[in-house]
Amino acid sequence: MFSNKKTARYNRLLAAGCVLIIFPCFSWGETVETPAWIVSFAESIYDAWYTGKPMPQISGVHPNASMEEAYKIQKEFVSRIMESEEIGGYKAAGVANPAPDHPLTAVMPASGILYAKNKIVIDLSEDPTRHVETEIGYVFGKAIREPLTDVDLLRECVKAVTAIVEIPGGAVEKRQPGTENDIIAWNINAKAMISGTEYTPKEINPDAVTIVLKHNGKVVNTATGDKAAGGQWNTLLKTVNTILNQGYSIQPGHIITNGALGKILKAVPGQYHADFGDLGVIVFEMQ
């Protein structure tokens, strides 16, 4: 899915060899020192992702690692992917959980953003570990570089609301029950998402959106937008501020998907039809 990966990997390996590596922050251009064990573990995740092998669990190797350290690993992992990529947006996970540390967040590569107006066919032979999630997304029209204090300020930055079907992927280790830190370090398996028709925020109440997902004509998931704890806009505010606190910025055109609503389903071959009510329909095929 990502272009020029071999060239980027070759260039990166030429520069490797230091015990302590300094990477620029995505948003501010500052340099921060990263502990060697974080760099090393991020490299092992990248190597597994690059070769299609199961990505290792931080909970098994560094069980005492903090969530902050897991996010640092994620950022190192993402920096390797983004050597030949641009950021297209971000994703959230765990939105049904009202705990203060939620939602979890990850970075979506630009090449992974697909559009429902095109014919979408996902080849599972490239990654049989894919899943299907129905979500609501937000297209930003203004840049955000500092955390926001309230939903009203957030609304002013959102250009459109859109239906989203996310199709995450990537093999992962299952040596022990997975943890939030594992998921964070793996960049929450961000790989691709399908974006539907865009509607202005004034046209749509995202909490009232109803979702019916069918596979080969059979209903496999139903959900509503208000399944996000605290509501869609409050969840999006937490998501945005978490992203900014990781040192990223949100740029015009970025899409943020607000996390899975209803079931997370294993992707299987067949025809999918996702009806998002007022947000329209997304149709795609798995083969």
CATH at residue 194: 3.90.850.10
Looking at the domain assignment, is residue 151 inside a domain?
Answer: yes
pLDDT in tens, 81-102: 988 789 999 999 988 877 666 7
- Range of 172's domain? 86-286
Is 179 within a domain? yes
The pTM score is: 0.86
Q: Which two tokens stand for residue 195?
A: 């974006």
pLDDT at 87: 95
Per-residue pLDDT, averaged over 100-116, amounts to 91
* Residue 26: CA count within 13 A, CB half-sphere: 24
Within a domain: 67? no
Name the E strands within 123-279.
131-140, 158-166, 193-199, 210-215, 218-224, 255-257, 265-266, 270-275
Q: Is residue 210 part of a domain?
A: yes
The reply to whether 150 falls in a domain is yes
Pairing state between β 113-115 and 193-199: parallel
277-to-31, 56, 258 alpha-carbon distances in Å: 46, 39, 17
Q: How far apart are the C-alpha atoms of 139 and 237, rounded to whole Å?
A: 14
For residues 136-144, give the mean pLDDT: 98
The pLDDT of residue 27: 42
- Flag whether 57 is in a domain: no
17 domain residue, yes or no: no
What percent of the chain stands above pLDDT 90? 81
Residue 126 is predicted with a pLDDT of 87
Top-confidence range, 48-52, 226-230, 267-271: 267-271
* Number of domains into which the chain is organized: 1
- Residue in the structure block whose two tokens are 């139903």: 222
Of 143, 149, 3, the C-alpha closest to 86 is 3
Between 82-91, 163-172, 219-228, 251-260, the lowest mean confidence (pLDDT) is in: 82-91
Residue 12 lies in a domain: no
**Burial readout 244-283 (b: 16 or more C-beta within 10 A, e: otherwise):** bebbbbbbeebbbbbbbbbeebebeeeebebbbeebeebb
Is a pLDDT exceeding 80 seen at residue 10? no
